[in-house]
Amino acid sequence: RVSASIYSAVQKLCLILGFLKELLTTVRLSDSCILQLAKTCFTTFLVDNMQLLQLKAIGVICMVFSSYTQHRSYLVDETLNLVRKLQFSKNAIRTYHLADEEQKQIQMITALLVHLVQFSANVPDSLKGTVNWSTIIDASVDANYPINCHEAATEACCLFWTNVLQRFTAAKSQDVPEAKGIIENLVQDLLTVLNLPEYPAAAPILEVLCVLLLQNAGLKSKDTSARCFAIDLLGGIASRLKRDSVICSKEKLWILQELTDAENDSSKILKNKCCVCLGGRGINMACDVCGRCFHPDCMGAGSQENLQRDSVCPLCFCKQQLSVLQSYYELENKEKGKRASTAHKKKTAIPDEVTAVDTVQQILLNYLQEAGPQDDGNLFSRWFYLCMWYKEDISSQEKIIYYLARLKSKEILRDSGSGLALSRDWAKKICLALGQKNSFSRGFDKILSLLLVCIASRCLILIRCCGINTQCFIRLA
């Protein structure tokens, strides 16, 4: 139990760190001040029962990581040193509580790693404050900027895992179990937060690790123990990807039907039945746009007042949002076309339709904007999602303004009302479904095939090692 004097001191330290974080957004400090501040924040993780102080320290470190790119290598090195200190001192306990996830916790250091990667994709300065459509137009963000942000995040992941694996391969025999424990704990935590709405960086972090383990740092290593350990890790990750794929294929959430029904036939919409529970009794609520019916309890609408005010389902609401943003974007293109060549006019005059994928993505962004904490971490999480989707969209560079507007659609369209609220469970299912479309989940077949090739070619050696967890491969079958 913490004494009153210590508790008071910790509260004041938390307040100071909060002020320092705000200071970093307005004032450019010298390198010596920044390095000393970061070093001080890292020391908070070595003290037990100071979770609130450590959360404040994560905020400061992430802000430094975002604003002072020249010190990112130093911050990654300090993070890695901190991992080793915590593991060595037996303090690798899971004290970071995940939002709305009962009895799910991860190490504070893993939370720091995930947030660092998300903050490496820096939100444009013009979008950090209150915005409107004019702010978006005047932002002057280069069409390659979101791609560069995604590459910066990948760079941070590569820097971290390369250092981790180098220290593992260079470790003395008596230090190998500790090095393995560090990596295993990190991977376990990352798999815990994988496909949770607030942590989009978990997938890229694991993806970079898999790429390195499939190369000289793992399966192609000359060290037998390193190969065995790589097979263990890759097998566990691959089994999780397969499990998520199976769960997603069986999911019947009505919102996700937009992703599976390519023809989007409105005749498939159930009439006089709740789209959530498929029950037919007690229907007294319907979407004004698509006609879908719902039980109030299934949609979380607790009062008749809510039913009268919120009469548009999340799908239709986000379609309307994106349609308005699309029209703004097309209007801006036409204005530019008047000052450009005729060829340019023809190129930009054809409007794009709002796709089902865009709609479901926007539902997730709106959920984070409404249900999540209104802080920098929430903003950077949403921006990280947009950077990943922007990279996957082959026509994204022609509509950079449209993507920027999606980041703060609720602010830009503040007079458009609000749709029915999305539950936490639905948001997780949407996140899982969207996760199946990213490069990490699509890499399952490659991981599995290379694992099987490695096992087949080195079967005798692996059997002698007796250190392989074969259960992960049994689960894959």
CATH number at residue 271: 3.30.40
- Residue 270 is predicted with a pLDDT of 66
Residues 130 and 44 in one domain: no
Identity of the residue numbered 410: K
Residues of the chain with pLDDT under 70: 1-2, 88-92, 261-271, 280-284, 299-310, 336-352, 415-420, 457-477
pLDDT at 91: 53
326-329 LR contacts (CB < 8 Å, sep 24+): 326/351, 326/352, 326/354, 326/402, 327/351, 328/133, 328/405, 329/399, 329/401, 329/402, 329/405
Closest CA to 112 of 144, 69, 158, 160: 160
Do 29 and 13 have their domain in common?
Answer: yes
The last residue of one of the domains, among 38, 67, 96, is: 67
> Using an 8 Å Cβ cutoff, are 212 and 159 in contact?
no
Read off φ and ψ for residue 47, nearest 5 degrees. Answer: -105, 130
- Those residues with Cβ within 8 angstroms of residue 336's Cβ, 6 or more apart along the chain or in another chain: 344, 348
Could you tell me the CA-to-CA distances from 83 to 45, 74, 104, 107, 160 in Å, in that order? 10, 14, 20, 10, 11
Residue 77 shares a structural domain with residue 173? yes
Do 183 and 327 lie in one domain? The reply is no
The answer to whether residues 304 and 323 belong to one domain is no
Instruction: Quote the number of domains for the chain.
Output: 4
Residues 186, 188, 190: CA angle, nearest 5 degrees: 70
Q: Phi and psi at residue 96, in whole multiples of 5°?
A: -90, 110
Find the domain containing 335 and state its range: 314-439
Instruction: Give yes or no: residues 365 and 217 share one domain.
Output: no
Q: What is the pLDDT of residue 371?
A: 83
C-alpha distance from residue 213 to each of 112, 327, 451 (Å)? 23, 46, 10
Question: Does one domain contain both 361 and 407?
Answer: yes
- The model's pTM is 0.88
CA max distance for the chain? 74
Is residue 335 domain-shared with residue 363, that is, in the same domain? yes
pLDDT of res. 462: 47
Considering the domain architecture, whether residues 112 and 194 belong to the same structural domain is answered as: yes
